């Protein structure tokens, strides 16, 4: 008998075995993902950092701590795959450049995202974190800058909600854009709470 659970389990196994980018990854391939057929909220991030690569746990770093605070959810809720799917644009740590981590590898999203999302039947919201996720999913609908895209979040609801990256490196951006904390985070938390508790 056909089963979506079986399809998702097999797909996740294939992703975790993926070595397509092995020649470009200084630390070797280690695809990091959390997903379920019944995940309600999909978070599309950038790529794992070195701590996430080392532990194998998505968003297991300072950025993840900030993200959970933004969402106003506990670690237990965040790491419940029935609630959240954690899918990066690039599944493996891409290495470090002159000013932080390198961009996510471009091979992953075209290879795996469509299959993943088509295997998920309960998606109610997709959160797009950072410029790479927004460029890939919003395409020409994204604004000229990430700031403008986030400010115009209502344009993309109810399907998508764009956010900046929760890295501590972006604290300066948050100070310059106080509307984000005062307005957007409150709306984000309300939407997440409603989404997780909707039958």
| Neighbour count for residue 168 (Cβ, 10 Å) | 13
Alpha helices in 139-179 (DSSP H): 146-151, 171-176, 178-179
The domain 4-197 is placed in CATH, from the list 3.20.20.210, 3.30.1280.10, 3.40.470.10, 3.40.50.300, at: 3.40.470.10
Q: What is the pLDDT of residues 1-23, one digit of tens each?
A: 344 566 899 999 999 999 999 99
pLDDT tens, residue by residue, 57-113: 999 999 999 999 999 999 999 999 999 999 999 999 999 988 789 999 999 999 999
Return the number of other C-beta atoms located less than 10 Å from residue 159's C-beta. Answer: 11
| Domain spans of the chain, in order of start | 4-197
pLDDT at 199: 63
Which secondary structure element, helix H or strand E, spans residue 51, and what is its range? Answer: helix 50-55
Q: pLDDT tens digits, residue range 107-139?
A: 999 999 999 999 999 999 999 999 999 999 999
Burial 89-124 (b: 16+ CB within 10 A, else e): bbbbbbeeeeeebbebbeebbebbbeebbebbeeee
The whole-angstrom separation of Cα 42 and Cα 63 is: 17
- Joined together, the tokens standing for residue 74 give 């506990």
**What pLDDT is stored for residue 117 in this prediction?**
96
pTM to 2 decimals?
A: 0.95
């Amino acid at each position: 008998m056909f089963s979506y659970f079986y399809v998702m389990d097999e797909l996740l196994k294939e992703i975790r075995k993926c070595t397509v980018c092995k020649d470009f990854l200084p630390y070797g391939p280690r695809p990091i993902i959390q997903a379920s057929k019944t995940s309600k909220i999909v978070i599309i991030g950038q790529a794992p950092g070195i701590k996430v690569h080392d532990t194998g746990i998505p968003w297991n770093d300072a950025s993840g701590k900030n993200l959970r605070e933004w969402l106003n959810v506990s670690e237990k809720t965040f790491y419940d795959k029935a609630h959240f799917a954690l899918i990066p644009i690039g599944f493996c740590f891409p290495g470090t450049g002159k000013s932080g981590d390198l961009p996510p590898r471009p091979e992953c999203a075209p290879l795996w995202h469509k299959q993943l999302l088509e295997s998920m039947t309960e998606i109610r919201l997709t959160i797009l974190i950072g410029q790479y996720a927004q460029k890939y999913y919003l395409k020409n609908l994204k604004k000229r800058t990430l700031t403008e895209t986030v400010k115009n979040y209502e344009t993309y609801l109810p399907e998508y909600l764009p956010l900046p990256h929760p890295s501590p490196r972006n604290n300066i951006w948050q100070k310059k854009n106080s509307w984000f904390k005062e307005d957007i985070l409150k709306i984000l938390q309300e939407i997440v709470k409603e989404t997780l508790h909707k039958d």
